[in-house]
Amino acid sequence: MKATASGIEKLDRVDRRMVSLLQKDGRMPIVSIAKELGISETTARSRLKRLIAEDVIKVIAVSNPIRLGFEIIGNIKLSIDLKKKDAILQALKSIEALNYVALTTGGNDIDIEFIAGSLSEFKTLIFERISQIDGVNSAETSLIVEIIKDTWDYGTAWDD
């Protein structure tokens, strides 16, 4: 890997191809990955372990929460007191129903994706958990009624 202007290490061609293969099929056997990349199984295994250890990739099952019985999924945009940003982010990280929390620029400060099993859980999440965090000024929620596109095979910024 080579460092870029942003300080992020650029993946070499083999690593990039491995990431692309796993984005398409996260269950691809290491033997198949090695064969596809033209490298030994041992090399493929060690590269995969390094990519995981360096938090470049996570090999997980991506599921559709609607098909798993969750009644409500959506997005929350928060405006916060930026002086309390670190404490707010820590509090949000501890809420299990939140599967994505990001600090953002623009009209809102934090973008959140959530999953709730019921309207009651959603109400508790908004009114008893998130709105009670010191420094949260306002919350704007959007509910997802249908997932139209959900892809994860976007390659890397350095793909040829």
Mean pLDDT of the chain: 90
Please check the confidence at residue 23 and state whether its pLDDT lies above 60.
yes
Query: What does pTM read for this prediction?
Result: 0.75
Pick from 130, 137, 144, 122: which is nearest to 93 by CA?
130
Tell me which DSSP letter residue 83 carries: G
Instruction: Express each pLDDT in 56-104 by its tens digit.
Output: 999 888 888 888 888 899 999 999 999 999 999 999 999 999 999 999 9
Which helix (H) or strand (E) is 99 found in, with range? strand 98-103
Only one residue has tokens 């041992």, namely 42
Instruction: Express each pLDDT in 1-15 by its tens digit.
Output: 444 444 467 899 999
